[in-house]
Every structure is written in C-alpha cells, then in structure tokens.
C-alpha cells in the first residue's frame, strides 16, 4: 500500500409497474425510462483512479466491485436486470474527477455511480444537483454533506467526532499523542485532526504534530522529534511502509510507544512485505475483522476467486471496500423497485436503519442520518511475529458522537 492509497449486472421477468416521475429520468416509472435503465440492464458508473500515482492502491477496490456485481448477475440480477458497469478514471485529480463524473452522467447516461477517490469532493455537488445516487468509501467530509452519497464508513464529519479513538488509546494506556498525516492528501490530514480531537476528549494531549509529512523525510529525524515530545501514542494517517521505517527508528531513539494506532494498513499483503516491523501495530475500522471468518467473509472470498482472480490478497480492506460499495448499490436498486428512479433509490436507501452487508459492517450502519461519523470501531492488532492480525476484544468499541467546534 502506497502513500497515495491514503489518500483510498438479466432479463426483465415481467412488465414494470408503478408510477411517478424522476426529475432526471425523463418519464414515468411505469415506462422504466430513468437514465441507464433498460429492460435488460441497469448501467452503473464506477469512478476511481485507474491510472496515475494512486492507481496501484485501488486495484483491489475494482476487484471487489467486479466480484460483487458478477455474483449478483449470476443470481439473475436486480429485478431481472443485469448490472452493467462503465469504468471512469479520474487519475485522483480534482479536474478529472469532475470531468469524468459529467461524462458518466451526461455522456454514458448511467443511472448511478460507485466511487472511491481522494478527489471525490470535486464532483460531489454536481452529482447531488443531478440527483445521481452515489455509493462508496467515505474517506472525506463530502460523504456527510450530500444526501445522495451513501457509505457504511463515515470516519469524518464537519461537525462531530466519535470518542472511540480516544477510548481505544486510553484503554491501551496511552496518555500523550504524536499525530501524523501525509503531505498532499487532504483527507488524511482531516482524519488525523479528527483522531486528535477524539483523543483530546479523553484527556489525551497532542504533544507532537506533523500533518505535512514527506515520506522521504529521514525516519531518524522524525523519530528524534517524537521521542523528545515523550509521546507514547503514534496515530494519524500514514502508510504502513512509513510506520515500518519509523517504528525501529523510534526504538533506537529510546521512545516508549505503547499505542501505534491507525485507521489504515489492515491488509495481509502489507504484513508479508514488512515482516516483524509491524508487530504491535493497532488498526481500527468499521468492518468486521476477517479473523472472525463470518459466512459473509466466505462468500466474499469465493466470489473474488471466481470473478476477480487478479486480486492477490483476499483479506484486504480495499477489495472489501469495493465489495461493500457494490453491495450498497445493489441494496438501493432492490429497494427502489422494479422500475427504479434516482429519487426513489435515494429515498428508499435513506430510510434504511440497519445496513450490515450480512454482518460485514459491524455494527450495522444507520443510513438515515448521513451527517454523523461512525460511532464504533473494530480493533485488530498485529501479533508478535508481525505476520498475522488478531482481534482485540469481543465487540466493537463504541464511543459517543460529540460536536466539534
């Protein structure tokens, strides 16, 4: 996983029924004339970085989408329609993100969009104005500002923060935090600031902060600064590779780091590449840990094997994020009925109180209030060998969602 990763489809069975106009559909639901909807298929756009410096980090995401839609198509699709995907490459560029969103909506006439990008904020207002449903990963505040944008994982909110990050650090014995974020990835800086605010609410002071961290910076220099601050927590949003270099440098400087806690890096491939350097690292995320081996995990693995064999590591968060983004899109299409409209999709999915994707989202996400961050986090830790993750605790850690000034 690189620094830029932070940044990170059947035939109608019968006649359509129902009525009502979609402001973007150009007709009535009984005629099934919404954009991208035919008797045979629903056209869904996928907007993500397929080329450029972010591309390698998003290949797992594409594989997860491919597998989930292919599995649904093998079962007959949604209301007898195949899911057809149109892929769009935004190159992780703000300009390209907006341009490609317009191409999908106005040129390709897609019904909806699945999205994962570090530049999604550039097209967010346009997609909302067009009434286009969007599902995807929620790494930025845009996902809590637009009613048409759906995610199971809102780690950021403009007006609120969960105390869960602080509770985890406090329970692990942390008292003083060094907060880091990678330069050039605004969402990483936003999330690092949010984590720091959560910790502050639990009485944990930020004693060192670098939100413009250059991955080429000497790890010795960085470790010396953190050690001088007497921090016992290192947190924020950095790549696992940075932590693999920083951890031994901190030990060499005599730093006593007891809580290395991050929202990213939950990937078996990462451990294979870094060895024992990752031992003791904690990762918190909103999905059920792979180590629980739920039936939904087994379905996910089997679908990746059959439909996306290019995904080399099945126990990877990026592939799971792609799977969930597609699954959430399917949930909305099913709820929208036999002749879906964009408005109908958004209204139906916004009424879902519990979305858990068969247990993969733990606890279930409440989609009715999109303005608040996820309150609960699942915690895993890298074992002493540095080769495996292990689940910490019997249940997610749930904090209080509190306003921020």
Q: Give the total residue count for the chain.
A: 405
What pLDDT is attached to residue 30? 42
Q: Contact 36/43 with Cβ under 8 angstroms?
A: yes
Integer Cα distance of 329 and 44 in angstroms: 9
- What is the CB neighbour count within 10 angstroms for residue 364? 15
Residue from 381, 380, 392, 377 nearest 166 by CA? 377
* Measured distance CA(352)–CA(102) in Å, rounded: 28
Cα gap 67→309, rounded to integer Å: 9
In 36-151 the beta strands, taken as DSSP E runs, fall at 41-48, 82-89, 112-115, 134-136, 149-150
Map out the domains of the chain with their CATH numbers. Answer: 3-155+293-359 (3.40.50.2300), 160-290+375-403 (3.40.50.2300)
Give the pLDDT confidence score for residue 380 in this predicted structure. 98
pLDDT in tens, 222-278: 999 999 999 999 999 998 989 999 999 999 999 999 999 999 999 988 888 777 899
pLDDT at 300: 98
Model pLDDT, residue 31: 61
9, 12, 16, 20 alpha-carbon torsion, rounded to 10°? 20
pTM of the model: 0.90
What pLDDT is stored for residue 405 in this prediction?
Answer: 66
Residue-wise pLDDT for 171-200, tens only, equals 999 999 999 999 888 888 999 999 999 999
Element (H, E) at 195: helix 186-200
Residues of the chain falling short of pLDDT 50: 1-30
Question: What confidence score (pLDDT) does residue 145 get?
Answer: 93
What is the Cα–Cα distance from 287 to 23, expressed in whole angstroms? Answer: 35
Predicted confidence at residue 118, as pLDDT, reads 83
**How high is the pLDDT of residue 49?**
93
């Amino acid at each position: 996983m690189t620094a830029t990763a932070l940044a990170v489809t059947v035939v109608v069975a019968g006649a359509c029924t129902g009525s009502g106009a979609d402001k973007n559909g150009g007709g009535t639901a009984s005629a099934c004339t919404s954009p991208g909807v035919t008797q045979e298929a629903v056209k869904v756009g996928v907007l993500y970085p397929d080329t450029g410096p972010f591309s390698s980090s998003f290949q797992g995401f594409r594989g997860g989408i491919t597998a989930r839609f292919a599995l649904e198509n093998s079962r007959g699709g949604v209301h007898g329609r195949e899911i057809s995907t149109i892929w769009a490459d935004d190159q992780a560029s703000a300009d390209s993100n907006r341009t490609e969103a317009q191409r999908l909506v106005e040129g390709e006439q897609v019904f909806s969009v699945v999205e994962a990008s570090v530049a999604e904020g550039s097209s967010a207002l346009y997609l909302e104005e067009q009434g286009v449903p969007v599902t995807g990963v929620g790494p930025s505040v845009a996902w809590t500002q637009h009613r048409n944008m759906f995610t199971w994982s809102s780690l950021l909110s403009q007006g609120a923060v969960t105390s869960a990050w602080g509770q985890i650090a406090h329970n692990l014995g942390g008292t003083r935090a060094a907060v880091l974020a990678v330069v050039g990835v605004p969402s990483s800086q936003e999330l690092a600031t949010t984590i720091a605010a959560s910790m502050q609410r639990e009485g944990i002071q930020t004693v060192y902060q670098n939100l413009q961290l250059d991955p080429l910076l000497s790890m010795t220099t960085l470790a010396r600064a953190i050690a001088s601050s007497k921090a016992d927590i290192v947190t924020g949003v950095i790549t696992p590779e940075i932590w693999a270099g920083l951890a031994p440098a901190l030990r060499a400087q005599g730093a006593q780091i007891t809580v290395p806690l991050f929202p990213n890096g939950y990937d078996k491939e990462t451990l294979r590449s870094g060895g024992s350097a990752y031992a003791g690292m904690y990762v918190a995320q909103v999905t059920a840990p792979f180590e629980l081996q739920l039936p939904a995990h087994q379905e996910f693995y089997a679908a990746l094997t059959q439909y996306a064999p290019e995904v080399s590591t099945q126990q990877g968060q990026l592939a799971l994020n792609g799977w969930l983004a597609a699954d959430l899109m399917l949930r909305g299409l099913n709820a929208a009925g036999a002749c879906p409209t964009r408005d109908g999709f958004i209204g139906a999915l916004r009424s879902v109180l519990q979305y858990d994707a068969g247990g993969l989202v733990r606890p279930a996400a409440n989609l009715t209030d999109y303005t608040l961050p996820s309150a609960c986090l699942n915690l895993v830790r890298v074992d002493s060998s540095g080769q495996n993750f292990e689940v910490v605790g019997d249940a997610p850690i749930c904090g209080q969602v509190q306003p921020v000034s």
